[in-house]
Amino acid sequence: MPHRYDDYLKSELAPVHLEKLMALENPKLRRFVADAIELCRPASVYVCTDDPDDIAYVRRRAIETGEEQRLAMAGHTCHFDGPTDQGRDREVTKYLVEPGEYLGPTIGATDRREGLKEIRGYLRGSMTGREMLLRFFSLGPVNSVFSISGVQMTDSFYVAHSEDLLYRPGYEQFKTLGDSPEYICVLHSSGRLVNGVSADVDRKRIYIDLKDEEVYSVNTQYAGNTVGFKKLALRLAIRKADREDWLSEHMLIMGVKGPGDRTTYFTGAFPSACGKTSTAMLPGETIVGDDLAYLRRIAGEVRAVNVESGIFGIIRDVNPQDDPIIWAALTRPGEVIFSNVLIRDGVPYWEGGGREIPDEGVNYSGAWRHGKKDEKGNEVRPSHPNARYTIRLKDLTNLDPRADDPHGVPVGGVIFGGRDSDTWVPLQQSFDWTHGVITMGASLESETTAATLGKTGVRAFQPMSNIDFVSIPLGRYVQNHLDFVMGIDTPPLIFAANYFLKRKDGGYLNGMSDKHVWVKWMERRVNGELDAIRTPTGFIPLHEDLARLFDEVLHKTYTPDAYVEQFTLRVRENLAKLDRIETIWRTEVEDTPEVLFEVLAEQRKRLEAARARHGDTISPSAFTQK
């Protein structure tokens, strides 16, 4: 390694921090750190190890700098992002690519040389007068075949504190890398601050350099744009998985209890605000993770680990009735970061929280009163629709005992689900792996929510719930899924779930707790214990099985009329969906596998034959049991 990096670092770091850095004999790391310091010009650099004193320093400084405020309950803090910095921003999140590199219709891409020039210009001098933090984390269980090391430099103590809750410490693991360049680097600066928040949001940029596996983020504080090992690193992990023949996915991992002491593990892909976390947190079941998963083939089976060790979750509608375990973690002493909620007398409030919201307080817009308007005349809600909480998984009472298993957990089923008001039945199982990947995963649609900036309620194409993060050509990404179970004797079963099907009057056909019955049915199907009805789009449950499960799980009566209304096949809507999906794959994706069109055509043929016999709405009784 060029000596100039060592010499420069010796001139910039205090001896105690220089010693911590030099213990990591990695040329790429020293170049990255030296370049970041020279570019951003911080007043000082603090190198954080896995030592509890270093971690405590970050938490203390988050309070002292005002990035977080102490709340009334011990350990609780609150952070506010700027009014226009409240979600992932697709418009300014881009890949940096070499000329001619094709990625397909994912997020935007820009020329690597021009993109680096632009964002480095915004980063230049951005940390003047502030302290830079150097952090190390492990994505996945430490020292596992799944684990990926990550290093981040940031000037935000809030961002660093959030990462302490969300990821496993990785300094000691980093020592084992030697001179390997196989890790992810992140550089973030909040930029110029006014009243403690990023002021130059018009110059917000989140760029992912695919060549050097580096992430740059500037002029933003919202964690989804700045916690580099979340969705930003997911994009790089997808490329690594593509190279190494495994899968990096936007998926929950949960354990579902069966008869006796049996636990069956599921992964599940749901776009934001579509029930992913609430599914992972179903009472009586266990959670491994709620957001990101790495999947590998090990010893003839599919196994998965949670990339993270915490939750950065949407807090809206979290209440003691619907989310008792999360509610308990949020309302007892312990380390919790609330973001963009309403604060009154040191107590956090949010919409749908089951408590009366005060008429005034403080939120991300500053002093707030009921009826407050923003500059455009729109009402400012007490808490932002995308307000969040950040906690460690170990603070949940339902954490699965195998959550940190370095070998992962065996996957019995995969669930795909989105916001769909008029097409998919609440629950169905694919005919086989290929049918599920194509008609459920690659065909996933969902109405947009507040988690992404822009209009809400728009039906969006969301293959595998991962469209925003796919960093390889989309057709190849689907082909990787199709090929993934090669050599697996019993591939996981694939299911589609829809918690948002509506009646003609606009009301939801199912209650929020009904999803618990759906996953119990899936668990029984994985273990071969229940029959099903074959329909043109997949297998659906029998009424008598659901009625028994509703009674056992929810102590509710499930009527035949409710079953028929929910599981009636809506042929017109399903054919319209096929039209939309096929058009996208034909016109917007250059490398779509031909098998995708074949499987969609077979589904269309089945739907049209059923319509010829039974019409546009078909009761489950019209189909045969299998």
CATH number at residue 211: 3.40.449.10
- In terms of domains, do 299 and 163 share one? no
Res 626 pLDDT > 80? no
Residue ending a domain, among 245, 276, 293, is 245
Contact between residue 55 and residue 30 where contact means Cβ atoms under 8 Å apart:
no
List Cα–Cα distances, 289 to 113, 177, 263, 267, 392, in angstroms.
37, 26, 15, 9, 11
Q: What is the pLDDT of residue 197?
A: 92
- In terms of domains, do 447 and 542 share one? yes
**Confidence band of 274 (pLDDT split at 50, 70, 90):** confident
Span 44-70, average pLDDT: 97
C-alpha of 49 from chain center? 26
Is residue 466 included in any domain, yes or no?
Answer: yes
Task: Label each residue of 106-121 as H, E or C.
Answer: CCEEEEHHHHHHHHHH
Domain count across the chain: 2
Write the CATH number for 592: 3.90.228.20
Q: What is the pLDDT of residue 107?
A: 65
Is residue 363 included in any domain, yes or no?
Answer: no
- In terms of domains, do 32 and 128 share one? yes
Res 541 pLDDT > 50? yes
Q: pLDDT digits over 124-168, tens only? A: 999 999 999 999 999 999 999 999 999 999 999 999 999 999 999
Q: What is the pLDDT of residue 100?
A: 82
Span 486-513, average pLDDT: 93
**Confidence band of 448 (pLDDT split at 50, 70, 90):** low
**Confidence band of 104 (pLDDT split at 50, 70, 90):** low
Is residue 362 included in any domain, yes or no?
Answer: no
Residue ending a domain, among 201, 228, 245, is 245
d(CA 82, CA 12): 32
Q: What is the pLDDT of residue 241?
A: 97
Q: pLDDT digits over 275-320, tens only? A: 888 899 998 999 999 999 999 999 999 999 999 999 998 899 999 9
Q: What is the pLDDT of residue 455?
A: 59
Q: What is the pLDDT of residue 103?
A: 74
Collect all residues with Cβ–Cβ distance below 8 Å to 576 and sequence separation of at least 6: 423
- In terms of domains, do 413 and 553 share one? yes
- φ, ψ at 208 (rounded to 5°): -115, 115
Q: What is the pLDDT of residue 16?
A: 97
**Confidence band of 1 (pLDDT split at 50, 70, 90):** very low
Q: Say how many C-beta atoms besides its own lie within 10 A of residue 283's C-beta.
A: 12
Res 105 pLDDT > 70? no
List Cα–Cα distances, 583 to 398, 410, 443, 459, 596, in angstroms.
43, 36, 11, 15, 12
Burial 27-42 (b: 16+ CB within 10 A, else e): ebbbbbbbbbbebbbb
Which residues span the domain enclosing 202? Answer: 3-67+89-245
Q: Whole-number mean pLDDT of the chain?
A: 94
Give the tokens for residue 173: 């693991």
Closest-CA residue to 37 (of 153, 185, 143, 170): 153
Is residue 72 included in any domain, yes or no?
Answer: no
Q: What is the pLDDT of residue 3?
A: 61
- In terms of domains, do 198 and 300 share one? no
- In terms of domains, do 282 and 410 share one? yes
Q: What is the pLDDT of residue 108?
A: 85
Is residue 379 included in any domain, yes or no?
Answer: no
Q: pLDDT digits over 10-44, tens only? A: 999 999 999 999 999 999 999 999 999 999 999 99
Q: What is the pLDDT of residue 454?
A: 56
Residues labelled as active-site residues: 274
pTM of the model: 0.93
Span 113-126, average pLDDT: 97
- In terms of domains, do 164 and 59 share one? yes
Is residue 19 included in any domain, yes or no?
Answer: yes
Span 494-513, average pLDDT: 93
Is residue 474 included in any domain, yes or no?
Answer: yes
Res 208 pLDDT > 50? yes
Span 92-102, average pLDDT: 88
Res 452 pLDDT > 60? no
- In terms of domains, do 134 and 16 share one? yes
- In terms of domains, do 39 and 161 share one? yes
- In terms of domains, do 411 and 275 share one? yes
